[in-house]
A and B are shown apart, each in its own frame.
Chain A
Amino acid sequence: MGAEVITVSTDTKFVQLAWQREEKMLENVKYPMGADPTGKLARMFGVYDEETGLALRGTFIISPEGKLLNSEVNFYNMGRNIDELMRKFKANIHLAKHTAEGCPSKWKEEGDKTLAPSAKMVGKVYEAYEGK
């Protein structure tokens, strides 16, 4: 999909190897599994839980220039929606090429309506969005 996806936990790379080999559900995993045993990276992104030494379920999108563009953190007991991650990723790609535009909440993929913020649109977002 044109991005380097790195899964990260506070386990060592040895544990990750063992897990990937043991767990049938991970048979097809092809992403590099990053080891952050000291929690340094998890702390940088604010997802390190000092009580448990574990990383919360955080997802972060970083541009090719190294800028943090999206951040989502869930508690341990809630999984993430990959469709929403893909939506954000595609929107970032679009916005990188069309810097004057904004992707509204309903934007899903290339070709969907975007908005170009302007003085004219203030108070008229509905009309701009519906093309009225």
Chain B
Amino acid sequence: MSENCCYLQVGQDVPDFKLDTFEPTKGDFGEISLEALKAKKKWTILFFYPAAFTFV
């Protein structure tokens, strides 16, 4: 395990990030970035899960 020195804590600003996505509503790939969500004044909820093909 790496040291827990550098994880984000509640109250901190989240650095910008980008993710490749699969968008079920479009049936297509896409991209999402925190920067774009902030520009749209959107709240963001990140929901991490261990692996596809397992129970959620």
Which residues of A are at the interface with B, using a C-beta cutoff of 8 A?
Answer: 2-20, 22-23, 25-26, 29-36, 40-47, 50-52, 54-71, 76, 79-80, 85, 89, 92-93
Contact = CB atoms under 8 A, between A and B. Distances in A.
Contact of A7 (B11, B38, B44, B47): B47
B46 to A, nearest CB: 4
A48 to B, nearest CB: 8
Contacts of A64: 37-38, 41-43
Contacts of A44: 7-8, 14-15, 17
Nearest to B12: A68
A55 B45 contact: no
Contacts of A69: 10-11
> 8 closest Cβ contacts across the A-B interface?
A46-B7, A34-B19, A19-B52, A3-B43, A55-B48, A62-B44, A54-B50, A58-B48
Interface size class of B (residues with CB under 8 A): 35 or more
Contacts of B38: 64-66
Contacts of B50: 9, 52, 54-57, 76
A33 to B, nearest CB: 5
Interface string B16-34: 1101111111000110101
